Amino acid sequence: MDGRRSAKALILVVVASALAACGTTIQLPEAPGATPFKAATVPITQTGDAPATVDKDSVTYTSDNAGSLVIHLTLTSNASTAQTIAVQATLFDPTGLIVGNASGGQIMVAPGATTAVQLNGQTPHGTITSATFEVTAVAAS
């Protein structure tokens, strides 16, 4: 009989422990503060020989689930024929040092068309405070 009582007591202790753990909140320490991803406003300069214009108000900077940089923008073709457009972004910190790069493009952009472009790059190594977008084009065939 003592063996049965011991087994029942052991089961009771295990069940009581399991029930006591339900609803327990574990406080995890917060990650240390990181530098801001980008400044509140990021001035943009466009360079390159493409007959296209980046809509500066359309540019957004985010990171994906892997922490990589994703830039979305729209541009308008000013060409007379369809173009393949490549965009290379160079990102700068407040001191003018390069903190990141991203690239992307769009094929068969029709004359006068406005199109969305996504650029991808590695996580910036500092706060983005300004950017240069080099826009180049090749006639689409």
As a whole number, mean pLDDT of residues 86-110 equals 96
Q: What pLDDT was estimated at residue 57?
A: 96
DSSP-assigned states of every residue in 53-74: EE-GGG-EEEE-TTS-EEEEEE
User: Among residues 126, 91, 106, which one has the least CA distance to residue 52?
Assistant: 106
Q: What pLDDT was estimated at residue 86?
A: 96
Burial tier of 9 (Cβ tally within 10 Å: 0-12, 13-18, 19+): exposed
For residues 100 and 34, the model is more confident at: 100
Tens-digit pLDDT profile for residues 38-97 = 889 999 999 999 999 999 999 999 999 888 999 999 999 999 999 999 999 999 999 999
In a domain, 10, yes or no: no
In a domain, 134, yes or no: yes
Confidence grade of residue 37 (pLDDT, cut at 50, 70, 90): confident
Domain range enclosing 131: 44-139
Instruction: Give the CA count within 13 Å in the CB-facing half-sphere of 131.
Output: 28
Percent of the chain with pLDDT over 70: 74
Residues facing residue 71 across a β-bridge = 61, 119
In a domain, 25, yes or no: no
Structure tokens at 104: 């992307």
Predicted TM-score (pTM) of this structure: 0.74
Cα distance between residue 90 and residue 133, in whole Å: 7
pLDDT surpasses 90 at 2 = no
What's the CATH code of the domain at 60? 2.60.40.10
State the chain's mean pLDDT as an integer.
85
In a domain, 26, yes or no: no
In a domain, 131, yes or no: yes
